[in-house]
Chain A
Amino acid sequence: MATAFRPTTRGCRAELEQHERRLLSRLCGDVVTILEGRTRNVSDDADVSDDAPASEPIEAPADASADASADASADAPADIGMDDSVFAHFSAELAGLDGDDSLSAPEDPVLRRLLPDASTDAEEAGRFRRLSESSLRAAKIADLRTARMLLESSPVQVTDEQAPMLGRALNDVRLTLSARLGVEDESDAEAVQQRAVRGGGSDEETFMAEVYTFVTWLQETLFSAMLEALPDDGGDGDAEGGAADGRRA
């Protein structure tokens, strides 16, 4: 059973079982795969494809025949994908959007949560996305890979510099699971919590709920430890000063 993250002299540390570290590492790998899929889709749509990073297989294929059949089945959707992108480009032009200035939001709810719109105005969000989404994906992938590296060792020991990277990676895992579990509001989150408490783990959704609750707990302990490590500002560091006495609340 895992122990909470606790502050140490140079960072935080938690004791995790091997199966827990493997599970977390695999989940981080899944999020990397999802983000890389978006990178491929975006560069397929664009005229320039030379900036697409080489895809890196995370898990070794189970066996050669499964790999071959996956390759065979991948051919057909690739053609359809091409038609879709041509159509998307055409409909974007019809909508009066310049394809070169704007990038549309992903349709996958997981990706929408990982890569949210930067504006409530759709045109502004599309322009912003065109300029910033690829660096955001790269930053998230770098965190997730660092997290996988940190999860290799037991106990899991993170420095003050590494802790935010692990924290952001765990958060992206939670965002991914929450989208898969259909968590849209506080009552959905409560329902997931209840399902995990009831336990059983016989169906996939209960298992996902248990994993979500575990990652939530681990992230909470990590940031509680990191908040403890922050220098005490006496609760009131603002120049105006009024917030602490409650008069300006």
Chain B
Amino acid sequence: MSSTAGSTLARGETDLEEESSVRAAAQRPYHVVVWNDPVNLMSYVSWVFRTYFGHSSSRAHELMMQVHEKGRAVVATGSREQAERDVTAMHHYGLQATLEES
């Protein structure tokens, strides 16, 4: 920080403001986006959505079709930390996935 001026109280307030804005950024939900690609099989993608995210078979099918027809789908939304884990898991399954601020 650039300034040492101000009372203890003022510094306290500044710190609180910064802290809460940092916390708000960390808590802002993130989307896990899966992109269409010509390689991954429809049955495989549906299976990953069902077993990894615990989506119902109809929801998994709906998301898979959205990826296939629209080119992308938001398959999960959550904290930054959770979204990072999900994107890495999708890459482990060989799906093209990205993290996106909601």
Query: Which residues on A are within 8 Å of B, measured CB to CB?
Result: 113-120, 124, 128, 132, 135-136, 139-140, 164, 167-168, 171-172, 174-175, 178, 183-186, 188-189, 216, 219-220, 223-224, 226-227, 230, 233, 235-238, 243-244, 249
Contacts and interface: CB of A to CB of B under 8 A. Distances in A.
Interface in B21-52: 38-41, 43-44, 46-47, 50-51
B95 to A, nearest CB: 8
Contacts, number: 100
Given A115-B91, A235-B58, A236-B56, A171 B98 contact: no
B interface residue count range (under 10 / 10 to 19 / 20 to 34 / 35 or more): 20 to 34
28 contacts: A115-B91, A118-B88, A118-B98, A118-B99, A120-B98, A124-B99, A128-B84, A132-B88, A135-B88, A136-B88, A164-B51, A168-B92, A168-B93, A171-B44, A174-B94, A178-B39, A188-B38, A216-B41, A226-B47, A227-B47, A227-B50, A233-B56, A235-B58, A236-B56, A243-B56, A243-B58, A243-B59, A249-B62
Contacts of A183: 38-39
Contacts of A188: 38
B91 to A, nearest CB: 6
B75 interface: no
B58 A175 contact: no
Interface in B84-102: 84, 87-88, 91-94, 96-100
A128 to B, nearest CB: 7
A223 B44 contact: yes
A244 B93 CA distance: 27
A114 B93 CA distance: 10
B92 A140 contact: yes
B40 to A, nearest CB: 7
A62 to B, nearest CB: 31
Contact of B99 (A115, A128, A185, A227): A128
The 4 lowest CB-CB distance pairs between A and B, nearest first, are A237-B56, A171-B94, A189-B38, A223-B43
B38 A184 contact: yes
Contact of B47 (A124, A178, A223, A243): A223
A11 to B, nearest CB: 15
A14 B97 CA distance: 31
A161 to B, nearest CB: 12
Contacts of A114: 94
Most buried by A among B39, B56, B92, B99: B39
Nearest to A171: B94
Nearest to A116: B96
A71 to B, nearest CB: 34
A249 B63 CA distance: 10
B97 A116 contact: yes
B14 interface: no
B82 interface: no
Contact of B58 (A184, A220, A244): A244
B20 interface: no
Contact of A237 (B57, B92, B94, B96): B57
A169 B96 CA distance: 16
A224 B43 contact: yes
A146 B55 CA distance: 27
